[in-house]
Structure 1
Amino acid sequence: MYHPEQRLFGGWLLAFTLVLLLMLPFPVAAGVSAVKTVDGLKQPWGMAFLPDGEILISERSGTLRRIHNGKLLAAPVSGLPAIEEHGQGGLLGLALHPQFAKNHWLYVAYAGKGKGGYSTHLARGQYQDGALTQWQVLFEATPKSDPGQHFGGRIVFDRAGYVYLSLGDRGERDSAQDLSSHAGSVIRLHDDGRIPADNPFVNTPGAKPEIYSYGHRNMQCMALHPVSGQVWTCEHGPQGGDEVNIEGAGANYGWPVITYGEEYGGGAVGKGATQQEGMEQPVLYWKPSIAPSGMAFYTGDKYPAWRGNLFVGALKSELVSRVTLDGNRYVSEERLLENAIGRIRDIQQAPDGYLYVLTDEDEGGLYRLEASD
């Protein structure tokens, strides 16, 4: 199992490299500069690039912001319901329907409140000219609970038009192994919220029929592989053990029975196992944690050498991880922009072929990554 960690260089090569880096404009790392295109965002969480060039940015507090012609507009998008900012929950991931240019459906993940507490909801509305209409709540995770952590909240569509939503364990770790709870799972729905007849647990007594996979801790990354069409996710471990996984129908990813992490402050999680029959192994894991949030496969032409690489943002480590793969197998990692621009909450490839990142700060920004080589 691979667990890439920061590379160390020694001797004259290290000294020479440091001198070169000090001569370059800030922020820069590994031949990449981050150009701030928009600032003034308050704890941004997700983004969506519209066909007409507009960009929508979700702020955790419940505000959906507009970037039009490269400028952040003062007026937010109207038509959103009440969003519950509760701990790590709030307004979370965004995704466009595959036929957005025709139907204008924007999909939104957010924390909602109901009987028993809070949970992650999935809804959609028709977006046009700064307003959402025809609002439809498609899914509410149950049971609801009071903890303020681990809401998940990323959304992706597959090539068949199914929509996937990642859900955290809500800080109640044993729920991730309980099929009667949505916590710690990936759910799969038709675009209108109907449950697919071939979901793996539709005919399992007591199981939530929306569940596609389970045994996850807190997935804040989700992307579609550009070749295989498989859904990939990454999730936070406790202290170490952040994972990248390939989602499979009915698969169990092990949390909290197996993990490469440990309890905060030290000590094994449960029995300290890292493998068990019937539970999946990650493509890669990080130890110590980087706190991954946001991921994208690069398919554009702005950085030809990176085509096919996986990019993962990091909150704790304040970096972008560039992961080279051989099919589904981990090969190597390069760490970009480490401690250069702050906590990375999301990373996406835009229609212009560049990678963009959001920084999760009270005064967060949208940055475009540009290769200096």
Structure 2
Amino acid sequence: MTFCKHLILASSLLLTSAASMASQIFSSDQADFRLEIVAQGLEHPWSLAFLPDGSSLVTERAGRLRVIRDGQLLDSPVDGLPELVVSGQGGLLDVLLHPDFENNQTLFLSYAHRSREGMTTRVARARLNDGRLSDVEVIFEALPRSNTSRHFAGRMEFDRDGNLYVAVGDRGEMDRAQDNTDDAGGVHRITPAGAPAPGNPFQTASGANDTFFTIGNRNIQGMTAHPETGEIWSHEHGPRGGDEINIIRAGTNYGWPTITYGIDYSGLPITSETEKKGMAQPLHYWDPSIAPSGMAFYTGDLFPQWQGDLFVGALKMRKLVRLSIEGGKVTEEEDLLTDLGERIRDVRMGPDGALWLLTDSPRGKVYRMVPVQ
């Protein structure tokens, strides 16, 4: 009887906590908003994609692709995923729909994969039909492999020409990011079939992989297209300090680890240089590190005062950052959701005009940010 009372009390407290969160009002300099819990109980959710029928896909780093339909997280994950490995920071990572998904049902998944030669970042293309994947084909694999379980990156984005951008981290082996014969530590641009995109900047470089678009990137965890210019924006983790926002431009070397605004986790310097000829400066950087993850420009109508602002999730600092952008420069920075206490893994602009967030935990959630009525 005592056990039953305790169970009822615990359930009541959980319900009260959820109701309290649903009614909690958050404030920014420009708007008051609240969070709606769309789904919960996800194991380290990593990425979110919106389907044309109003449902959503969510990746769990543990190796599952889940469906949210009519406000409910379906019990059964999508069948037919490619073979992958869950290790350290690796697992099932990004999910991205083909620009013509409504007609071809094609999507792309990035994930960690292991063989006898070690682990790496892969991208697979597949078709989604009736809750399962078919015609699964690996279209990109970063080489060489290594035995570390860090810095897989894995964020993806399409440009207006239909080319796919794939971020690959330095795998925790920093010098690889300055070697254009090594796929680690850069952004690769490919066609939806996996071929090097026409006009890639390193196609004439001796020994370089002709899928390379940029080099010198440490570990990109956010990538999005600018709603007006179409340029691909990204952010990446620094070590202790030096998280960066960059505009991804052909042939650019973003400097890691030759230049950085961060220091090593040991507290020792990585380099004495923060700038060098031939290497790009970040558009914006954080010191100390916030561990950015996920990013989206706000383009909806629910918060007209946020139109054009850039939103970035933070893992380490457990917040959402709003950045005002004017003329390609950051003019204002505001921290949101600092009282939520959640690691923000992904940020997406929803087709409903709301911002959608994923929280990184063994019991992760999907939130919608909506105005206070």
> What TM-score does the superposition give when structure 1 sets the normalisation length?
0.92
- After superposition, where does 1:1-373 map in structure 2 within 5 Å? 26=24, 28-30=26-28, 31-270=32-271, 272-372=272-372
Per-residue deviation at 1:99? Answer: 0.3
Which whole-Å CA distance do the structure 2 matches of 1:27 and 1:139 have between them?
44
Per-residue deviation at 1:202? Answer: 1.0
Residues 269-316 of structure 1: CA deviation (Å, up to 9, x unaligned): 12x211000000111001111100000011110100000000001100
> What TM-score does the superposition give when structure 2 sets the normalisation length?
0.92
Per-residue deviation at 1:226? Answer: 0.6
Contact 2:25/2:372 (<8 A) preserved = no
**Secondary structure in 2 matching 1:58:** strand
Corresponding residue pairs, total: 350
Which whole-Å CA distance do the structure 1 matches of 2:349 and 2:132 have between them?
25
Per-residue deviation at 1:200? Answer: 0.6
Per-residue deviation at 1:155? Answer: 0.9
Could you tell me the percent identity over the aligned residues?
A: 47
Q: CA RMSD in A?
A: 1.4
More displaced stretch, 115-124 vs 304-313? 115-124
The residue that corresponds to 1:15 in the other structure is none
5+ residue gaps in structure 2? 1-21
Which whole-Å CA distance do the structure 1 matches of 2:107 and 2:240 have between them?
35
Per-residue deviation at 1:29? Answer: 4.2
Residues 226-257 of structure 1: CA deviation (Å, up to 9, x unaligned): 11110000000000110000011010000000
Which whole-Å CA distance do the structure 2 matches of 1:349 and 1:267 have between them?
39
5+ residue gaps in structure 1? 1-23
Which structure carries more relative contact order (alpha carbon 8 Å, separation 6+)? Answer: 1
Contact 1:98/1:161 (<8 A) preserved = yes
Which whole-Å CA distance do the structure 1 matches of 2:304 and 2:249 have between them?
30
Which whole-Å CA distance do the structure 2 matches of 1:141 and 1:134 have between them?
21
- Residues 322 and 365 (structure 1), Cα distance of their counterparts in 2 relative to 1, 3 Å cut: same
Which whole-Å CA distance do the structure 2 matches of 1:221 and 1:351 have between them?
19
Which whole-Å CA distance do the structure 2 matches of 1:238 and 1:282 have between them?
15
Which whole-Å CA distance do the structure 1 matches of 2:204 and 2:283 have between them?
30
